[in-house]
């Protein structure tokens, strides 16, 4: 992620987007650690590695022979970076991405991962798929064609396939009953739009 340090952005939002983009490309995930001086009014945002915490077993007082066999993705990684206003007193100041001040925060203590290993990126992929379904439905595209579009949409990082319980799996039944249920009634444009949203929710409800 060396290339991101020193970059200047017009807003904190664009700086944040660049942080997540660079982290994802490098195989990591960063989360907000603190905002200074407060969460609602801040000039500094400190990011840490998503694996930065250490695992504490809830059953630490249970005898070892009776403990559940669990694992954790946390590695106590110390990596951090800073997004900061260039001029704290100026409301419209630009923002810059900086290295953490202490050298111990400059490196990850684990190998990079495929983005599919992080729930944030899997969730983002799922939300994009849901938005695509709604957009296609509102455009009047039939369920079979929507299904075909989603199946042909490349997922090079296998984000959806790796989502497990929160995985988006599009399964549209094309029998007569389901086809009838997805037909918008002949009524006003406003009522048709409401019905399309309702039917799209029914379509998402069949996502397993």
Which pLDDT value is given to residue 121? 72
Residue 66 is predicted with a pLDDT of 63
pLDDT at 185: 41
Residues 97 and 136 in one domain: no
Q: Are residues 102 and 131 in the same domain?
A: no
Residue 144 and residue 93 share a domain: no
- What is the reported pLDDT for 154? 62
The conformation of residue 88, written as its DSSP 8-state character, comes to T
99 phi and psi angles, rounded to 5 deg: -70, 155
pLDDT at 31: 92
In which residue ranges of the chain is pLDDT below 50?
Answer: 156, 163-191, 207-208
Q: How many domains does the chain have?
A: 2
Q: Pick from 113, 131, 151: which residue ends a domain?
A: 113
Q: The domain containing residue 6 runs over which residues?
A: 2-113
Q: What is the pLDDT of residues 135-178, one digit of tens each?
A: 988 999 888 888 887 777 666 455 555 544 444 443 444 444 44
With helix as H, strand as E and coil as C, how does 2-21 read? HHHCCCEECCHHHHHHHHHH
Quote the pTM value: 0.56
Candidates 207, 205, 200, 208; CA nearest to 131 is 200
Cα 2 to Cα 8: distance, rounded to the nearest angstrom: 14
pLDDT (0 to 100) of residue 32 = 93
Last residue of a domain, one of 80, 113, 146: 113
Would you state the pLDDT for residue 36?
94
Contact 30, 51 (CB under 8 A): no
E strands present in 72-129: 80-85, 95-99
Backbone angles phi, psi at 144, to 5 degrees: -60, -40
The two tokens of residue 152 are: 């042909």
């Amino acid at each position: 992620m060396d290339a991101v340090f020193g970059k200047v952005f017009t807003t904190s939002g664009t700086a944040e987007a660049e942080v997540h983009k660079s982290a994802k490309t490098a195989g990591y995930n960063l989360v907000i650690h603190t905002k200074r001086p407060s969460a609602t009014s801040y000039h500094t945002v400190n990011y840490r590695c998503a694996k930065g915490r250490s695992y504490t077993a809830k059953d630490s007082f249970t005898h070892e022979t009776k403990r559940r066999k669990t694992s954790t993705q946390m590695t106590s990684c110390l990596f951090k970076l800073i997004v900061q206003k260039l001029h704290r007193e100026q409301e419209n100041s630009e923002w810059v991405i900086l290295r953490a001040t202490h050298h111990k925060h400059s490196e990850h203590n684990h190998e990079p991962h495929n983005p599919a290993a992080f729930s944030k990126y899997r969730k983002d992929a799922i939300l994009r798929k849901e938005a695509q379904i709604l957009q296609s439905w509102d455009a009047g595209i039939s369920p079979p064609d929507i299904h075909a579009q989603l199946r042909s949409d490349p997922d090079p990082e296998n984000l959806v396939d790796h989502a497990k319980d929160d995985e988006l799996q599009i399964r549209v039944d094309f029998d007569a009953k389901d086809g009838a249920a997805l037909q918008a009634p002949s009524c006003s444009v406003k009522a048709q739009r409401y019905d399309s949203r309702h039917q799209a929710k029914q379509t998402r409800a069949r996502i397993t």
